[in-house]
Amino acid sequence: MPGVIEEKQKGIDLSEGVLSLEGEELDEVILQARDVMNIFVKTIKAYRLYPRENPALDDFRRLFSHKLQSFLDTYHSFAFQIGEYNFSFSGKILYDNKDLKTSLAFRLYKDGLRELRFMEGVEEAEIWGLIDIITRM
């Protein structure tokens, strides 16, 4: 994905707030949920950084859609809880950012969202619409 390579070269950190969970013994579902969350956050941040016509955005959106669909094919739903500064899944915090200016969790939380749930059968256009709505907040 050319956009990711460029970001590292420019020093842009799209993974701010995404927790690595290294050193913890985790179930496969938590590891896969972390991967979905990681690309979700990076996709939203990329949309806020780049102009809409940048082709790297399509790469992020496709990757998120692919990761999410793979998760849904296996587990049938992906629901994560939205805390004031974090996103959690099955009691494990996958994203934590207390910076009010950059925290995606805080932006969603302050608007009243407490959970976001994706169900098997969600269409790509619905995913893209959600990304569009979140990035315009």
Amino acid identity, position 121:
G
DSSP, collapsed to helix, strand or coil, labels residue 56 as: helix
Owner of token pair 């707030």: 17
Q: What is the pLDDT of residue 137?
A: 81
What separation in angstroms does the CA of 70 have from each of 27, 33, 82, 90, 91?
Answer: 16, 11, 22, 18, 21
Distance CA 67, CA 65 (A): 6
pLDDT band at 133 (very low <50, low <70, confident <90, very high): very high
Is the full-model pTM beyond 0.85? no
Is the pLDDT at 56 greater than 80? The verdict is yes
Residue 13 has a pLDDT of: 47
| 16 or 12: which leads in pLDDT | 16
Query: Which has more confidence, 26 or 49?
Result: 49
List the one residue out of 114, 14, 16, 108 whose CA is nearest residue 63: 14
DSSP 71: H
Delimit the domains of the chain by residue range.
2-7+25-135
Of the pLDDT bands very low, low, confident and very high (cuts 50, 70, 90), residue 4 is very low
- Average per-residue pLDDT for the chain: 85
Stronger pLDDT, 19 or 123, i.e. the higher one: 123
pLDDT band, very low/low/confident/very high, at 22 (cuts 50, 70, 90):
low
Residue 110: the pLDDT is 96
DSSP character for 114? Answer: -
Which pLDDT tens digit goes with each residue over 96-115?
999 999 999 999 999 999 99
| Strand arrangement, sheet containing 77-82 | 92-96, 86-89, 77-82, 115-119
